[in-house]
Amino acid sequence: MDLLRRILGLQPTGEQPVTPQETPETPSDPVVTSPGGAPTAPLDPQLEDLMASEGRTRQLPPLETVLTPSEGARLNYGQFSDVGQIRDNNQDSMLSMTLSMTGNDQDPNFGLFIVADGMGGHEDGEKASAMTTHVIAKYVTKDIFVPMLNGETGGDADRPTIIEVLRNAVQKANDVVAERVPDGGTTATAAAVMGNLAYIAHVGDSRAYIITADGIEQATRDHSLVQRLIELDQLTPEDAIDHPQRNVLYRAIGQSDNLDVDAITRHLPPASYLLICSDGLWNLVTKEELKQIVITHQDNTQSACEALVNLANERGGTDNITVVIIRVPGKK
């Protein structure tokens, strides 16, 4: 009940409402962060310049038509989070909400799915990731869920788009975390699925993958130092696996006043899967293994989640492990 109240913006007695801090007009320098609060080695000036120049987001691809589902079809999802084998607390947070309606209008399914990986020490990481999921869910509920329940399905030019709502929600989460957990931070990958489209707002190195029977594709881009070096051909993917600064992020929620949020819109084929996970999974399980396990379990998305987490734990469970898998209705 407390979670639902926080999502809807209803404050329990005695609790003060969250007031996001004002964003200054001048951008601040990027802050180097490392998940788990572990100290990082100093970066040389060349790498600092590289990270300072980063901050551009990729353009959105053209929007496809949102398709309505077949009668009775709905989003199917599973989720699982585990502390792993090394840590003594779980700094990951996840949240899933779905809205499925049937009637004359045949409105498309809608779902919100969030994975956040906290950083900054024992309690700060937990607080940062939990606050982020709550704030994002609150704004999506207010600006998307409630209008849909009221039958407001579009046509209002003044209403923000789904991707605009998501980006604004992540920005609000950044303000709240920076104000209330100054020593904490978090990644966030939030996906709103409507019909056959996925709208994704992304910061950090949690990931979203699109899986079909034919292959697997990473839909998000890691905001990590090693990924940037790979993109500049200064590091190979093989060398990045054991790089001493592989956990260093140049973009995270709560770490700077001005946050650049990646906005991604992707088409989801019928019977495909959207997989969202923290780095505790993808660091230990390869892309092909992700695909194989999801396809093997087919419609049982919960069993697929549990199998993936179990595999990561078998390989050491060196971090918290969180995964959400969403299956899109339809036939292959």
Say if CB 53 and CB 90 are below 8 A apart.
no
Q: Would you place residue 238 in the very low, low, confident or very high pLDDT band (cuts 50, 70, 90)? A: confident
Instruction: Note the helical H segments in 31-161.
Output: 45-53, 122-140, 146-149
Average pLDDT score over residue span 250-262? 94
Q: Which residue has the higher pLDDT, 62 or 297?
A: 297
CATH number of 67-327: 3.60.40.10
Q: Would you place residue 61 in the very low, low, confident or very high pLDDT band (cuts 50, 70, 90)? A: very low
**Cα distance between residue 253 and residue 173, in whole Å:** 7
Supply the pLDDT for residue 24.
33
pLDDT, one tens digit per residue, over 1-51 is 444 444 444 444 333 333 333 333 333 334 445 555 443 444 444 445 544
Residues forming a β-bridge with 58:
none
Tokens linked to 323: 């995964």
**Cα distance between residue 251 and residue 205, in whole Å:** 9
Residues forming a β-bridge with 262:
202
Supply the pLDDT for residue 39.
39
Of 102-106, 201-205, 225-229, the range with the lowest mean pLDDT is 102-106
pLDDT of 163 over the 70 cut: yes
Supply the pLDDT for residue 155.
55
Average pLDDT score over residue span 78-90? 96
Tokens linked to 295: 């396809």
pLDDT, one tens digit per residue, over 107-133 is 678 999 999 999 987 689 999 999 999
Percent of the chain scored above 90 by pLDDT? 57
Supply the pLDDT for residue 331.
81
Residue 59 CB coordination number (10 Å): 7
pLDDT, one tens digit per residue, over 137-155 is 999 999 998 888 887 755 5
Question: Domain boundaries in the chain?
Answer: 67-327
Percent of the chain scored above 70 by pLDDT? 74
Of 8-17, 84-93, 112-121, 296-305, the range with the lowest mean pLDDT is 8-17
Mean of per-residue pLDDT scores for the chain: 81
DSSP 329: S
Residue whose token pair is 């407390």: 2
What is the pTM for the complete model shown? 0.80
